[in-house]
Amino acid sequence: MPSSKPSVIVSAHRAASVNQVDKIKVGLALYHHHLLLHDRASAAIAADPAATAGATAAILAAAAMKSTGWRAAQFRHIWPY
């Protein structure tokens, strides 16, 4: 009498394969989106380097302030927003 285990194993393997394919599709979509953003950023830098430098400085300053606020909030147990 044949066992049902092989069909269960095959079904589990197929489900895992589909899950892996979905993960790969999502990863490729995110990478493609990253490349598009990189291309747009490169075009903006080429168009106006001075404006890009100012925007970069503002972003870095905001990130530093957020980081400092986050660290202080961790010790005071207060949400930084």
Query: Residue 69, Cβ neighbours under 10 Å: how many?
Result: 14
In percent, the amount of the chain with pLDDT more than 70 equals 51
pTM exceeds 0.85 for this model: no
- What would the 3-class secondary structure string for the chain be? CCCCHHHHHHHHHHHHHHHHHHHHHHHHHHHHHHHHHHHHHHHHHHHCHHHHHHHHHHHHHHHHHHHHHHHHHHHHCCCCC
Reported as a single tens digit per residue, the pLDDT across 34-48 is: 777 777 777 777 777
How far is 14 from 4, CA to CA, in rounded Å? Answer: 16
Question: Residue 71 has what pLDDT?
Answer: 56
